[in-house]
Structure formats: structure tokens, C-alpha cells
Chain A
Amino acid sequence: MAEKMLQPKNVDLRLERFDRRIVYEKCGRAKYISHLDLMRAMQRAIKRAGLPVWYTQGFNPHIYLMFPLTLSLGFESRVEVMDLALLEDMPFEETVRRLDAQMSEGMRIVSCALPVHKHTEITHAGYKIRFTADRSPEECRGLFEEFLARDKIEIEKRTKKKTANIVDIRPFIDVREISCGGDGVCLDLLLPAGGSFSLNANVVIETFFEMYGLECDELCIERTKILIANGKLFT
């Protein structure tokens, strides 16, 4: 009996697989889907689309899906990446079409291609941040410039051991543009992502709000690009 129970269910092993890199959009209502929920939603979408996907070969087979970066709850993005594997060499366009038809409001499949870079090659990500607060846009912009002019911006960063480290994040904030638009401020910045050190755009903006005692009214953060070491796009 015991031997029987130890046998994996997925016994028809399929070793040949066709790796695919999917780029998708997560905007609007969909920005409230947490990363964990998103993984589940994608598995179900794949199932509904009837894609011939590769399953993991363990005791508890599940659809193979890899996300190189997580997108924080509340962020929008048109450049999100997920990898999956197919059992047959399905044309890219067909994969896009079938999967896109199963997306919920705010989600869209942008493209499908062969993976080029490894996940570990990711170093940075670009963000567009737009916010309004209880001061005028010009004032906020001035304060943000002052924020950036500091020698050090120290925050507490939790480590895996649940202890807190003090980290100076100033060197990691690479601001490409600051502008005032409408009733808010727009920021364009690059932050370290993936790999050993990453910095959440939320942390930057919240540290700023806190430091100057600003009351945030509206905050929109969009990830705009994912980059590798030489500043090239991750594909």
C-alpha cells in the first residue's frame, strides 16, 4: 500500500517543453489583486484558455509559472513579465490571443516571446509616480527636491531574520524627472529591483511624506520598465 501512495500522480512525464515569456498589463481594478492572488488567477486563466501547458513533475503537479518580479499591491504596470512552458510549439500570437481572452478587467496580455535574459540579470525598474497632497504641487515639488538634496535618507529595512537594519536609501534613488501636472506632482525614477537589493517605490514616497508631514490624497504608481545591468530592457 505504502508504495502506491508514494507514486506521483503526474506519471506521464513530459520532458520536452517550450519556454515562453509573457508580458502583461495590470491596471485599473486589477491593481488591487495581490501577487499571490495574481498567480492563482493566471493559473486559472491558463486553464480556461486551454493552453497546452507544462505541469511541474512532483507529487502535487501544478502549472509551471514564474514571475521574476512581484508588483506591489496598488501599482499599475504595462510591462509585467511571467514565464510559462508549453508542451507544443504554439505560435506566439495564438498564445497571446487565447490567454488575453481570459483576462479580467484591467488585465491584458501584451506579448509572448522566447525568454532572452535570466531573471537574475534584472537590476533596476523604472517607475512613474503621481501624487497629490495637502500642499500645492509646486510646494510638494520643492519639498521633494529638498528631500533628494539630503546626504542621507535613512530607513529601517526589515531583514529575513525579522531584525531591522538602518539603510541609507538615498544612493539608490535615481530620479530622471520631476514635474508638476494638474494638481499633482509627477516623478520618473529608477530603483534597484530583483537580485540582492531592491527598493519599493512605496517606501521612497512614504518616507518622503513622513519626513515632511504631508497628508497624501491620491497616489498612483506605475512600473514603466524592467532593466538589466547595462540599462537595457529585460526581455
Chain B
Amino acid sequence: MEEIRKKLDKILLKALKPARYIGGEIGSVVKERDKVDVRFAFCFPDTYDVGMSHLGMKILYGLKNAVPNWWCERVFMPEHDFEKLMRDNGIPLYGLESLDPIKDFDFIGFTLQYELSFNNVLQMLDLAGVPVLSKDRKGLTPIVVGGGPCVCNPEPMADFFDIFILGEGEEVNLELLRLYEKMKSEGTDKESFLRAAAGIEGIYVPGFYDVEYNDDGTVSSIVPNVPEAPEKIRKRVITDLDGVYYPESFVVPFSEIVHDRSVVEVLRGCIRGCRFCQAGFIYRPFREKNIDTIKSETKCLCEQTGYEEVSLSSLSTSDHTRINDLLLSLSDYTDGEKINLSLPSLRLDSFNEELLERIQAVRKSGLTFAPEAGTQRLRDVINKNITEEEIMSTCRMAFEWGYTQVKLYFMLGLPEETDEDVRGIAELAEKILQLYYDTPKEKRGRSVQIAVSTATFVPKPFTPFEFEPQATPEEIMHKQEVLRSAVKSPKKIRLSMHFQNTSILEAVLARGDRRLCKVIFDAWKKGCYMDSWDEYFNFALWQEAFEENGIDMGFYADRRRSYDETAPWSHLDYLVSRDFLIRENKKAHRAITTRNCKEGCSGCGIGADMGGVYCGGKNASAQKR
């Protein structure tokens, strides 16, 4: 749009890093307006630097734009300085490709990646000039849709969205947009379209469900109020990762973003079942791409983007059934092209030395572990299948290789956690430090630094800990004190601990119900957004909003739920059975571990027809494909 373009030319140079607001990057898709029938604004409710790093957006952007008469554009949350410039100059939120206002688009889609980005959705809709409440948007368009992991409990956002999309988006997005394209040409209205959309598997129209509450504040029932809406909405799963769409190119940003590299997804789901980890449950089953697919996607992406770094993405890359072959085969290509192959979330102990040598030849960074808990007992409680022996043997190897930095990640406030477990964190760090001193001088690096960082545990839906209370701020403060006084070598072991009120808010929103919509709305009206940014988070305003609505945060954050309580998300089916979660919760309290999928099926409820590598007894007992 010429008008916005002209206005932008006048203000862009006043903004920090203006390249983020003008589009035009290599790989961005520009189409002719009059040849396009469906326009989709893909909004990431955080800044460009964060959003542009997100793989899901790259996939769905490419997927929709591959259809000639659909046009998907990118939209991000402007930083405060630019947001003010936009408002002062009457510039509504626009798509980065066309620079057209998104309020005129057919769809405005948000990906809900973390709870603290919820209020950015309201802020972005408002900046776009679109009413934030679904009921105030009477026309057919724009239809506001949401996807991403937080949609496994989208209830606190139910009032703002017309549609939620559950699970993996590659197929259901196409189905939804095809339906829309057809109905729009026939002249439909919003209600009719939503009713038809509700019939698509994975599509959840929150307005078609009535929620009733018990006297004690818990949910009593969630019932559809139109015949088209199913009682349970099932998440979508891509059963064949080799056949599914994967982008051939990325939009290559000018300004540096958080993850500025090619990213190739190697597998989805996780076999490990750590009980605190939401991703480990909601992305089940474990599926993988074969080596040829990964290799050709890597080559194609690197050639199309010109990136000199490629990263393999997954929840746990070393769980690929043919990880050694994969890395050997990939590094043949990347070495030749001087491309840096980076491998986050790897378990080093599973590799032979030759392979390590080849990968490490590129760039040597620190070593990172996430033991999550300080003692074996507590690691058994959370089913974190990493033993002290494994940590030690990897560290020994790493120190002999000249590594000097070890980062350790832990959580505080886990269920069943005692002061002994907290002290165990410090003891583990001290043991690793001692291991460094025990490494022969001629082998080890010159000095050592062990960074211990702790986060506060937040119980999430669809995990065995969804029933658990979050530790109170007082409890966390006590645990932090115990930990601090247990560290004997504070010069070599650097502790970073934060209990922020953000963890409380995150816990409330994660397991919240629809009564929180009003709180979110009020908090937003008071000026709360960009809550994941420390400099903008204002807990006092949030507290005000809760108080004014007569809602107690503790009810959501630190209350233990009984197994028979109706969860606010109980009408959503993420395929993992509730019985399994209850079983796992009970085992956690007895510190009994559960084997991983590779060792044998534990009956989580995922069917054998979902493409899972190990589901239905396939490939069990460490067999290689």
C-alpha cells in the first residue's frame, strides 16, 4: 500500500534496526494482489528477532504461499519505539510483504508459543485496528486463528480467537483455507463458515462450547452448543515426515535474529517422557525423517539461503535411529561447503571419538547439560533419564578435549523435592569441578567455569505433573538459599537463579480456564504486554487485574488437582490418555521411572497408526531401522 510505504519512509530512520519493519528480504514472497483470493497474516506475537527464528512459521509460510492464489505474509510485534511511531503517524499493523494493513486480510493467524506472549495478541489486534474480542468481529473477515503448543489449553484466550488449530499444521491449514476459499466465493457469513470449519479434525471453535463451573471454582462441564462441534477435538498429526511439506528456502533476514541459520527438522516427538516436559507429551508420537530427506533438505536450504550454518532441530537429535550415519553423511556435505553444522540437544556419550572430532573441528563451544534435578532420586521422580555416571563420563571426555565451560540447567520447585535434592545440585557441580582438577594438566584447558542455572518449575497441561501445585514464592526463596549456601567454590561455580513473578503468571495462564479471558483483557487495558521481556513485565498491574475480577492466582498456580477433576482442557484430545498421565503421576510420587519408547511401549495411548517409530511394538528394544 503506497500510503503506508510513504509514511514508513518518514519514520523508519527514527526506529532502532529499521530493516525489521520494511520487509524485502531474500526469500520473502511477494504476489500480485489481484491474482490472490485468500490473504493470511501470519503473526508472531513477539519481536521480529524472536519470531523470525521460529521454524513453524517458516514451514507454514512456505506451505501457504506454495498455493498460487493464496498469499501469506509475516507480521511481528513492533518494539515500543516503533509502535509509538506507528500510532503517532496513523500506521496500522501491516504485512511485511505487501505493506498492506492486515485488518483487510481474510485470516489473521497467531502462533501461541508461550503463555507470556498472550497479551501481545491483543496488542497486535488493536494495533491492526481489529476488535480484540471475537464477539465484536461480526463480519466474515478477518478470521482470527491460533495455533502452537499453548493451544493445548487455549481457554484463557478463548474470547479473543475465532478458531484454534490443534496439533501439527501442515495438513489442517490447507483444509481450512480451501474450505474458506470455496465458501467465500459462495458468499458465506462468519457463523456458517465457523460451523463448517468445526467439522474439520483439529479445528476448535471456542465459541461453540459452553463451560459450566462447580461451586468450588473447578470446571463441571464443557459442552458443544451447536451440532457441528464435536465433543472432543483431536489434535492433528503428520504421520509421514518424509512426505510432508518442508520449505525449500527461508526468508533470510538482514538484521541478526536469535537463530540466524538454516534449520532442518530431523524428527518430531520425543521417546523420553520426562514428566515435567510438555513438549515430550504434546508432540507425540516419535517420528523421524530418513537420512536422504534430511540431507536433501539441508543441501537445498543452504543453497537457497546462503547461510553458512545449519542446525538440526528436534527435541533430542541423538534419538534419531541412525544418528551416526546421519551426522557422517551430513558433515561430508557441510565440510565441503564450509558450512558449520550445529547440533543442539545432543547426547555426546552416544558418539565415537572420530565423529566427535569431525563435528568439533568446526567450532568449539561450551558443553551444556540439563540434569534438571540434583539427585538421582529426584531425577527418577521426574523421569529424567540421565545418570550421574553419564554426566561424569561425558564431562571427563570433554575436559580431556580441552573444554573449559560446562553449563548445567536445573529446576527448583519440582514435585517431591527436598532440601537434600537442592543441595545435590551444588554437590553435582562440585563433583564436576573436581573432575576438571583430576584431568591431567597437559590435556585440560587453562581454567574452568561451571555455570549452574535454575528455573522455577511450572506445571503444564498434558503432562503427568498437570495435577501438581507450583511451589510458592516462599518455598522457592528457601530453596534458593539452601542452594546458595551449599556451593563451596563460588569462584568456579557460577549460580544464576531467578524466581520471577513471571513463573507464577505462566503457571496461572498455562492451566487457566475461560474466566481468565476477562483478567487478560483488563491487564492488557492497564498496559500489560511484552510480558516475557523483563523490562516491560509489570506484575503489580497483573495483580490488580486479578483482584478486580475476584480471581485468586493461587487457585490456578499452587493448588493440587485431584485425578477426577475436569480440567479446563478436557475437551481437547492430544492423544496421550489421561489414564497414562495419572499412572505416571502416581509413579512419580514413588520415584519409579518409566522406560522410554525405544526400550518398550508404556501405553501412553497413541495409536500405532500415527506414524510413530516405536508405536504398537515396532522397533522396540533398541532395534535399528
Q: Does B388 contact A (CB under 8 A)?
A: no
A1 touches B401 (CB 8 A): yes
A29 touches B307 (CB 8 A): no
Residue of A nearest to B445 (CB): A2
Q: Taking the nearest CB of chain A, how far is it from the CB of B401, in angstroms?
A: 6
The answer for the CA separation of A30 and B362 in the assembled complex, in Å, is 32
In the complex, what residues of B have CB within 8 A of residue A48's CB?
26, 303-306
Given contacts A1-B400, A43-B306, contact A33 B254 (CB under 8 A): yes
Which of A34-42, A81-89, A114-122, A226-234 binds B?
A34-42
Residue of A nearest to B260 (CB): A40
The answer for the CA separation of A44 and B306 in the assembled complex, in Å, is 4
Q: Select the residue from A32, A40, A43 with max chain B CB neighbours within 10 A.
A: A32
Find A32's partner among B22, B256, B442 (CB 8 Å cutoff). B22
The answer for the CA separation of A160 and B400 in the assembled complex, in Å, is 42
B256 touches A217 (CB 8 A): no
Q: Does B101 contact A (CB under 8 A)?
A: no
The answer for the CA separation of A34 and B616 in the assembled complex, in Å, is 54
The answer for the CA separation of A37 and B49 in the assembled complex, in Å, is 13
Q: Taking the nearest CB of chain B, how far is it from the CB of A184, in angstroms?
A: 13
Q: Taking the nearest CB of chain B, how far is it from the CB of A177, in angstroms?
A: 24
The answer for the CA separation of A40 and B306 in the assembled complex, in Å, is 10
Q: Binary interface profile of B, 119-145, with partner A (CB < 8 Å = 1, else 0)?
A: 000000000000000000000000000
In the complex, what residues of A have CB within 8 A of residue B400's CB?
1
Find A74's partner among B13, B252, B303, B307 (CB 8 Å cutoff). B13
Q: Taking the nearest CB of chain A, how far is it from the CB of B333, in angstroms?
A: 14
In the complex, what residues of A have CB within 8 A of residue B23's CB?
29
B24 touches A29 (CB 8 A): yes
In the complex, what residues of B have CB within 8 A of residue A218's CB?
9-10
The answer for the CA separation of A30 and B12 in the assembled complex, in Å, is 12
Interface residues of B in 346-377 (CB under 8 A from A): 357, 361-364
In the complex, what residues of A have CB within 8 A of residue B12's CB?
32, 74
The answer for the CA separation of A1 and B444 in the assembled complex, in Å, is 9
Q: Binary interface profile of A, 42-56, with partner B (CB < 8 Å = 1, else 0)?
A: 011111101000010
Find B306's partner among A10, A28, A33, A102 (CB 8 Å cutoff). A102
A61 touches B24 (CB 8 A): no
Residue of B nearest to A47 (CB): B306
Residue of B nearest to A30 (CB): B24
In the complex, what residues of A have CB within 8 A of residue B302's CB?
47
Residue of A nearest to B339 (CB): A47
The answer for the CA separation of A55 and B338 in the assembled complex, in Å, is 10
B24 touches A217 (CB 8 A): no
Q: Select the residue from A4, A61, A102, A217 with max chain B CB neighbours within 10 A.
A: A4
Q: Does A104 contact B (CB under 8 A)?
A: yes
Q: Does A9 contact B (CB under 8 A)?
A: yes
Residue of B nearest to A104 (CB): B26
Q: Taking the nearest CB of chain A, how far is it from the CB of B431, in angstroms?
A: 23
In the complex, what residues of B have CB within 8 A of residue A73's CB?
13, 18
In the complex, what residues of A have CB within 8 A of residue B303's CB?
48, 50
A1 touches B22 (CB 8 A): no
Given contacts A29-B24, A43-B306, A55-B338, contact A2 B254 (CB under 8 A): no
The answer for the CA separation of A91 and B189 in the assembled complex, in Å, is 60
Q: Taking the nearest CB of chain B, how far is it from the CB of A187, in angstroms?
A: 18
Given contacts A30-B24, A37-B255, A104-B26, contact A43 B18 (CB under 8 A): no
The answer for the CA separation of A40 and B305 in the assembled complex, in Å, is 12
The answer for the CA separation of A95 and B255 in the assembled complex, in Å, is 26
Total number of A residues with any Cβ neighbor in B under 8 Å:
35
Q: Taking the nearest CB of chain B, how far is it from the CB of A93, in angstroms?
A: 22
The answer for the CA separation of A62 and B9 in the assembled complex, in Å, is 34
In the complex, what residues of B have CB within 8 A of residue A16's CB?
none
The answer for the CA separation of A2 and B444 in the assembled complex, in Å, is 9
Q: Does B19 contact A (CB under 8 A)?
A: yes
Q: Does A181 contact B (CB under 8 A)?
A: no
B256 touches A45 (CB 8 A): no
Q: Taking the nearest CB of chain A, how far is it from the CB of B467, in angstroms?
A: 48
Q: Binary interface profile of B, 1-37, with partner A (CB < 8 Å = 1, else 0)?
A: 0000000011011000111011111100000000000
The answer for the CA separation of A43 and B361 in the assembled complex, in Å, is 22
Q: Binary interface profile of A, 1-15, with partner B (CB < 8 Å = 1, else 0)?
A: 110110001100000
Residue of B nearest to A216 (CB): B10
The answer for the CA separation of A28 and B254 in the assembled complex, in Å, is 15
Residue of B nearest to A55 (CB): B338
Q: Does B402 contact A (CB under 8 A)?
A: yes
A44 touches B252 (CB 8 A): yes
Find B256's partner among A40, A47, A60, A105 (CB 8 Å cutoff). A40
Interface residues of B in 277-324 (CB under 8 A from A): 302-308
Interface residues of B in 22-68 (CB under 8 A from A): 22-26
Q: Does B443 contact A (CB under 8 A)?
A: yes
Q: Taking the nearest CB of chain A, how far is it from the CB of B340, in angstroms?
A: 10
The answer for the CA separation of A106 and B25 in the assembled complex, in Å, is 10
Q: Taking the nearest CB of chain A, how far is it from the CB of B479, in angstroms?
A: 39
B13 touches A45 (CB 8 A): no
A9 touches B254 (CB 8 A): no
Q: Given A34-B19, A38-B254, A44-B26, list of 16 further CB < 8 A pairs?
A: A1-B400, A1-B443, A2-B442, A9-B338, A9-B362, A29-B23, A33-B19, A34-B254, A37-B19, A40-B254, A41-B252, A43-B308, A44-B307, A44-B308, A47-B308, A48-B26
Closest 4 CB pairs of A and B: A44-B306, A29-B24, A47-B306, A48-B306
Provide a sorted-by-A list of 26 A–B residue pairs whose CB atoms are within 8 angstroms.
Answer: A1-B401, A1-B443, A2-B442, A5-B401, A5-B402, A9-B361, A9-B362, A28-B24, A29-B22, A33-B19, A34-B17, A37-B19, A37-B254, A37-B256, A41-B254, A43-B306, A44-B26, A45-B306, A47-B307, A48-B306, A50-B303, A60-B363, A61-B338, A73-B13, A104-B24, A104-B25
